[in-house]
Amino acid sequence: MTGKPPEIPGGAQLRTIAMPRDTNAGGSIFGGWTLSQMDLAGGTLAAEHAEGRVATVSIDAMRFLRPVSVGDEVSCYCTLQEMGKSSVAVRIET
């Protein structure tokens, strides 16, 4: 499959709970931890469609809209945006 795939609505690709060990000095969850969860979710979806190994090469944009607190459930929703012969583009909302 190449080009834009049909958009398939789905549930969360990853769900986890933010824990105290993932906090910064201000008491919020590290942005890097959140990004790591998103990378795991997007990589899982990409690998399913690529039927093999994948690696994150770039991130086009990242916006933190509000802090994540200890005990929050963090869910990553992924949509396959584009698929080529050697690349996969995934949109992730958390």
Burial track 51-63 (b if 16+ CB lie within 10 A, e otherwise): eeebeeeeeeeee
Which of 52-60's residues contact partners 24+ apart within 8 Å by CB, and which partners? 54/88, 57/87, 59/35
Contact 42, 56 (CB under 8 A): yes
Domain 14-93 in CATH: superfamily?
Hotdog Thioesterase (3.10.129.10)
Query: Percent of the chain at pLDDT above 90?
Result: 73
pLDDT at position 7 over 80: no
Task: Give the residue from 8, 14, 34 showing the smallest Cα distance to 23.
Answer: 34
Which pLDDT value is given to residue 44?
92
Q: Kindly list the domain boundaries of the chain, sorted by start residue.
A: 14-93
d(CA 68, CA 7): 28
Checking if the pLDDT of 8 tops 70, the result is no
Task: Locate 40 and state its tokens.
Answer: 């795991």
* pLDDT (0 to 100) of residue 85: 87
